[in-house]
Amino acid sequence: MGSCANWFAALAVGLAWKGQPVFAIRKEFGFSASHVLDHLPADHPCSRMHGHNYTVVLELKAQESGLNEAGFVRDYRDLGEFKAWTDDTLDHRHLNDVIIDLNPSAEQLARWIFTTWREKLPELVAVSVSETPKTWAEFRPRVD
């Protein structure tokens, strides 16, 4: 789905939520990977190849009318496909070789994961990425 289509989908979801109770779930995943960040001074430590033990959090939301028969936004077990994809695609990889067209910062990684998974997880509203326990980046499409 293109970025314009993602924006319209997010807008439609956001408008549907106005004034309605919303349920949110989050699930955390981890992987280890290396990367090199471009456009930094040569003496910046992130300009050299280095690695992180990443944490990714998916946030999914639904109105009460959007809950499934069990009363879930989505069964956490359904997110096993995301875990398998993370293990196959990102774990112990060099992110510059995986995310070809982007500088693989935490911000860009969060957006890339969101756009890759939004169609499969229509309840997905945000992706957060942590490179260290004290640093987080989040991608959440703008919804006015």
DSSP per position, 53-98: EEEEEEEEEEEGGGS-TTS-SS-GGGGHHHHHHHHHHTTTEEHHHH
From the candidates 28, 44, 92, 119, give the one annotated as an active-site residue.
92
Question: Known binder of ligand: residue 35?
Answer: yes
Question: Known binder of ligand: residue 50?
Answer: yes
| Residue 46 among the catalytic residues | yes
Q: What distance in Å separates the CA atoms of residue 113 and residue 82, rounded to the nearest whole number?
A: 10
Question: Known binder of ligand: residue 94?
Answer: no
| Residue 131 among the catalytic residues | yes
| Residue 92 among the catalytic residues | yes
Annotated binding-site residues read 35, 50, 52
Catalytic residues, which ones?
A: 46, 92, 131
Binding residues for Zn(2+): 35, 50, 52
